[in-house]
Amino acid sequence: MTYIFYQFQLHIITNPLKQENRKQKNKSKMQQIGNEVANTPTTTVTTAKNESSKRRSLYCLLSIISVSLIFILSYSSFPSSSSSFSILNHSRKQKSQIQIQSLVSKLKPNAPPLPSVAYVITGSNGENDRIFRLLKSIYHPKNQYLLHLDLTAPQSQREQLVNFVQSNPIFNSLQNVNVVGNPDFSNPKGSSSVSSILHTASLLLRFSSNWDWFINLSSSDYPLISQDDLLHILSFVPKDLNFLNHSSYIGWKEAWRIKKIVVDQGLFLTENSDIFYATQKRELPKAYRLFTGSASTILSRKLVEHCIVGSENLPRTVLMYLSNTPSSQVNYFQTVACNSREFSKTIVNHNLRWQWHSSLNGSNDANELDEMIDSGAVFGTGFILDESVLDHIDQEVLKRPPGRILSGGWCLGDYHSYNDPCMVKGSVDIVRPGPGSTRLEKLLVRLLSSQTFQSSQCMVE
C-alpha cells in the first residue's frame, strides 16, 4: 500500500509540468482569442468563459479525488487508532523500563558473583536430630552438603537421614544434599579422622566442580551468622585463602603426641575400637616442619585438590607420617599448607570459630554468649547437649523459626504463612546481608591487615 501511495504522489508531482505546457499553449490561444475579441461577437466570449470554468471545475475535481485517495491509502496503511495507541503506549513503557534499568545499574554497585561452599557434617550414633537442625540453619541453594554418620551409628539411623533428605521438598528439588552410604570410622584420637575428611572432600569434588571453600562441621557446631552474610562477605575475599589455626610451637605435644606411635584400628577394622599405643617413640621429621592447630578449618578448593589429586608428593608423605600419630587431624592440613610454597602465603591464622565453654545458666554464661556473637566468628563449637544455647541463637541471632530452613534472599514465600517461605524459590544469587555480615567484615579486616596477616603466616617459633 505504501508503494502505491508513493507512486500516486509522484504522479501528482509530475502532472504540473504537463499543465505548464498546456498553460503556454492556452496562453497563445488566449492571445489569439484576445486579438479576435474586438471583431468577435459576444457569444464567443461567453463560450471562452464556459470553457475556462469547465477547466477549473476539472482541476478542483482532480484535487478532491487525489486528496481522498491519499486519505484512504494512508488510513489503510496504518492500524486502527486503538491499536496504534497501544503500540505507542507499549513503546513508551519499554523505553521507561530501559531507562529505569539503566538507572538501577548505575546506582547498584557491580557486586562480585557469590561463591559456593561445600559442607560436610559429621555425626555419630544418636545425633541425627542435631544434624537435621544444623543442616537447616546453614542451608543455601548455591552450596553443597554431605552428611556423614560414622560406623558407630546403626544403618537404621543412616536410612532415617536419607528419608529426611528425600522427604524435604526443598532438598529434593535442588539436589545439593547427599548422604555418605559407605561411611568410615572417625576417631579424633587417631588418624582415621583425617582419612574420613579426605574421603568426604573427594566425594564433594566429584559431586560438583563449582564450590570454592570446604568447611568441615560436627554435630556440636552451630552457625552464628546466616549463609547470606557468609556468602556476601566471601564474595569479596580471594578464593585461595585458607582459614586455619596453626603454629610451629609444639611444646608439650612433642613428647606426648608427636613422638608417640599409635595404631588407629578404625583404619582396618569394621567394628568400633579404640587406639592403642606402642612403647617406642620416633624422631621428628627433618624433610619438613610440623605445624599444629585446630581440627576445624575452612579450606580453599585449591588446597583440597592439592591434598587429594595434586602432583606433589608432600601431602601423601605427611599423611603416611601422621597415620601413626595421635590426633593427627590437628596437624595434617597445617603441615601441608605451611610446607608448600604455593599455599604458605594463603593462610589466615584463624578458623573463624568460637569455642564454647559454658552452659546458658547464669550471668557469666550470658556474657560469654554476647562475647561469642560480637566476635564475628562464623561458627560456634562445643555445644554438646546444650539446646538452650542453640534456641537462643535461633531466636535472637539468626531469627530462624523452629523447624524451618533459615530464610535468605532466595526465599520468596510469605513469611507470615504456615508454609516455609523457602518453598517459593527465587534467584539463588540474591542475598539479604544482615548484622552478621558487618561483624564478620570487621573480623576479616582485622585479620587481613598487612601487619597481622603476614606476621602470623607459618612463623617458625
Axis-axis angle for helices 227-234, 435-447 (nearest 10): 40
Q: Print burial letters for 30-39: b (CB count within 10 Å at least 16), e (below 16).
A: eeeeeeeeee
pLDDT for the residue numbered 102: 40
Strand 353-355 and strand 292-293: the pairing is unpaired
DSSP assignment, residue 394? I
93 forms beta bridges with none
Cα→Cα distances 348→119, 194, 252, 353, 426, Å: 19, 21, 24, 13, 34
Residue with cell 593462610: 347
Element (H, E) at 25: helix 2-37
Answer whether 173's CB lies under 8 Å from 127's CB. no
pLDDT for the residue numbered 404: 92
- pLDDT by residue, tens only, the chain of 461 residues: 433 333 333 333 344 434 444 444 444 544 443 444 344 444 333 344 444 555 555 555 555 555 454 444 444 443 433 333 333 333 443 444 434 334 333 334 577 899 999 999 999 999 999 999 999 999 999 999 999 999 999 999 999 999 999 999 999 999 999 999 989 888 888 899 999 999 999 999 999 989 999 999 999 999 999 999 999 999 999 999 999 999 988 877 777 778 888 898 888 887 777 888 888 888 899 999 999 999 999 999 999 999 999 999 999 999 999 999 988 999 999 999 999 999 999 999 999 999 987 655 554 577 888 999 999 999 999 887 768 889 999 999 999 999 899 999 999 988 777 788 898 989 999 999 999 999 999 999 999 987 778 888 898 87
User: Taking Cα atoms as reference points, which of 281, 286, 237, 279 lies closest to residue 257?
Assistant: 281
Task: Give the integer Cα–Cα distance in Å for 207 and 304.
Answer: 14
User: Taking Cα atoms as reference points, which of 197, 211, 208 lies closest to residue 302?
Assistant: 211
Answer whether 133's CB lies under 8 Å from 398's CB. no
Count of helices and strands (H, E) across the chain: 16, 14
Strand 242-243 and strand 347-348: the pairing is parallel
Answer whether 189's CB lies under 8 Å from 327's CB. yes
Q: Which residues contact 348 (CB under 8 A, 6 or more apart)?
A: 241, 242, 243, 244, 447, 448, 453
Q: Tell me which amino acid residue 110 is.
A: N
pLDDT for the residue numbered 95: 43
DSSP assignment, residue 360? S
Could you tell me the residue ranges of all domains in the chain? 117-455
Q: Which residues contact 355 (CB under 8 A, 6 or more apart)?
A: 380, 381, 382
Q: Which residues contact 428 (CB under 8 A, 6 or more apart)?
A: 114, 140, 141, 142, 410
Output the DSSP codes for 83-99. HHHHHHHHHHHHHHHHH
pLDDT for the residue numbered 73: 43
pLDDT for the residue numbered 21: 47
Task: Give the integer Cα–Cα distance in Å for 161 and 146.
Answer: 11
Fold of 117-455: Spore Coat Polysaccharide Biosynthesis Protein SpsA; Chain A (3.90.550)
pLDDT for the residue numbered 259: 86
Answer whether 348's CB lies under 8 Å from 342's CB. no
pTM for the model stands at 0.75
Answer whether 183's CB lies under 8 Å from 161's CB. no
Task: Give the integer Cα–Cα distance in Å for 412 and 427.
Answer: 9
pLDDT for the residue numbered 257: 76
H-type alpha helices, 250-331? 253, 301-309, 314-322
Output the DSSP codes for 56-123. HHHHHHHHHHHHHHHHHHHHHHS--HHHHHHHHHHHHHHHHHHHHHHHHHHHS--PPPP--EEEEEEE
